[in-house]
């Protein structure tokens, strides 16, 4: 059986969650995926959120022409409340109250649940689009998935129960995909494996092959052998070759660790584009062939 291409995998889904250790390129790859989908006539939304409601960095999504939604816990809660209480005035009364506010920020898993609910709504309202979710780094990603699944065990009936059921259904649906990302470094690889293990202990999520980002590019021409380099290079140029060789070793170690863990792997090269936007465009080109 031929392995489906990345594009095929993405456009057949409704929701894709991007997650991995900080600094592995989640935002860039999620954005590049949106461009890729759009290029092939599939509508894509990019969704990101920040667990502590600080202003997220204003990435230039507009320049790239990617529809982007920045979710915040309080905003999503407001929307959810309005759905039930119907009247703006009543919702304001609730949310402007200091006691209630403290309570809402304290209630375990509530923020995660309302955000997941909002993502689900977005996907329902746009049945032809794929919603790409740029999740916060690993630790927070786990609580994003574990909160609704944990709450499901606690509440067996009522309104909260129904809402949580709906969210869990979305998370575990075959049309939802979790895209793990890593860079070829031990720390990042072990954290990614740990993350996958934790997620699998929560439920039967669907994973696509992991992205191993920032790998060494394949250079044109004929690679130098170590012996060759030793005789032909000296000083700084030989240092550079040794530097490259050690990085290559690290990369193949990372590759085999992931392979041994039974993960499918897709490699992406480290790019030297000066700007974030050009980086995203270049990644989206590379994704065509992934």
Partner 1 sequence: MMWDLANKKIILIGGPGGVGKTTLAAALGVSLGLRGYRTLVLTVDPARRLAQALGFKDFAYSIKKVISQDYPELQLTASMLDSEHYFDKVIERFARSPEQKKKILENRLYRTMVESLGGSHEYAAMERLLEFVSSDEYDKIIVDTPPTQNALDLLQAPQRLANFMDNSVLKWFQKKGGLVLFQRGTQMAMKALQTILGSEFLDNLAAVLGDLEGMQAGFRSRHLAVMELFRDPSSAFVLVTQASEARFLESVEFHKTLQKENIALERLILNRLEPDFQSSSPIELEKDCLTWFTALQKHFEELRLVQQKWSEAFQAAIKVPTIRVKRKSTLMSDIHALKQLGDELIG
Provide, for the chain, the percentages of residues in helix, strand and coil under a 3-state DSSP scheme, each rounded to the nearest 5: 55, 15, 30
Conformational region of residue 109, where left means phi above 0, alpha means psi within -120 to 50, and beta covers everything else: left
The nearer residue to partner 1, 164 or 178, going by C-beta atoms, is 164
Q: How far is the CB of 125 from partner 1 (least distance, A)?
A: 21
Contact flag: residue 208 with partner 1 (CB under 8 A): no
For 106, list phi and psi in degrees, rounded to 5. -90, -25
Binding partner 1 (rule: CB under 8 A), the pick from 36, 51, 167, 179 is 51
**Residue 143 binds partner 1 (CB under 8 A):** yes
Q: Is the dihedral of CA 146, 147, 149, 154 positive or negative?
A: positive
Query: What residues have CB less than 8 Å from 289, skipping those under 6 apart?
Result: none
Spell out the residues 6+ positions from residue 183 whose beta carbon is closer than 8 angstroms to its own. 21, 23, 24, 25, 212, 213, 214, 254
Check residue 81 for interaction with partner 1 (CB under 8 A).
yes
Whether 287 contacts 6, CB under 8 Å: yes
CB 288 → partner 1: shortest distance, Å?
21
Closer to partner 1 at the Cβ: 9 or 112?
Answer: 112
Taking CB under 8 A as the criterion, the residue among 1, 2, 54, 262 binding partner 1 is 54
> Is residue 147 within 8 Å of 171, Cβ to Cβ?
no
Give me the least distance between CB of 67 and partner 1, in Å please. Answer: 21
Among the listed ranges 11-19, 36-44, 54-62, 116-124, the one in contact with partner 1 (CB under 8 A) is 54-62
Helices and strands per DSSP (H, E), number in the chain: 13, 7
Q: Does 88 bind partner 1 (CB under 8 A)?
A: no
Contact between 219 and partner 1 by CB under 8 A: the answer reads yes
104 part of the interface to partner 1, by CB under 8 A:
yes
- The smaller minimum CB distance to partner 1, of residues 14 and 61, is found at 61
Taking contact as CB under 8 A, which single stretch among the options 5-13, 38-46, 243-251, 281-289 is the one that binds partner 1? 243-251
Name residues contacting partner 1, limited to 155-184 (CB under 8 A). 155, 157-161, 183
């Amino acid at each position: 059986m031929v392995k489906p291409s990345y594009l095929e995998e993405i456009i057949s889904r409704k929701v894709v969650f991007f997650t991995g250790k900080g600094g592995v390129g989640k935002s860039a790859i999620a954005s590049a995926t949106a461009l890729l989908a759009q290029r092939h006539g599939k509508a894509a939304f990019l969704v990101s959120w920040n667990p502590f409601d600080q202003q997220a960095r204003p990435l230039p999504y507009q320049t790239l022409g990617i529809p982007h939604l920045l979710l915040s816990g309080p905003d999503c809660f407001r929307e959810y409340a309005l759905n039930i209480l119907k009247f703006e005035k009543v919702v304001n009364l609730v949310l402007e109250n200091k006691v209630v506010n403290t309570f809402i920020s304290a209630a375990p898993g509530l923020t995660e649940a309302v955000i997941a609910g909002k993502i689900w709504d977005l996907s329902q309202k746009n049945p032809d689009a794929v919603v790409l979710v740029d999740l916060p780094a690993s630790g927070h990603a786990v609580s994003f998935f574990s909160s609704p699944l944990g709450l499901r065990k606690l509440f067996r009936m009522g309104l909260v129960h129904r809402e949580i059921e709906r969210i869990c259904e979305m998370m575990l649906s075959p049309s939802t995909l979790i895209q793990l990302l890593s860079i070829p470094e031990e720390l990042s690889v072990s954290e990614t494996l740990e993350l996958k293990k934790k997620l699998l202990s929560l439920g039967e999520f669907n994973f696509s092959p992991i992205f191993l980002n920032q790998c060494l590019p394949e250079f044109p021409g004929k690679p130098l052998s170590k012996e060759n380099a030793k005789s032909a290079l000296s000083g700084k140029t030989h240092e550079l070759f040794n530097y490259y060789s050690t990085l290559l070793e690290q990369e193949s170690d990372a590759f085999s660790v992931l392979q041994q863990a039974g993960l499918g792997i897709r490699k992406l090269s480290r790019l030297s584009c000066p700007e974030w936007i050009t980086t995203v465009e270049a990644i989206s080109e590379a994704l065509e062939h992934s």
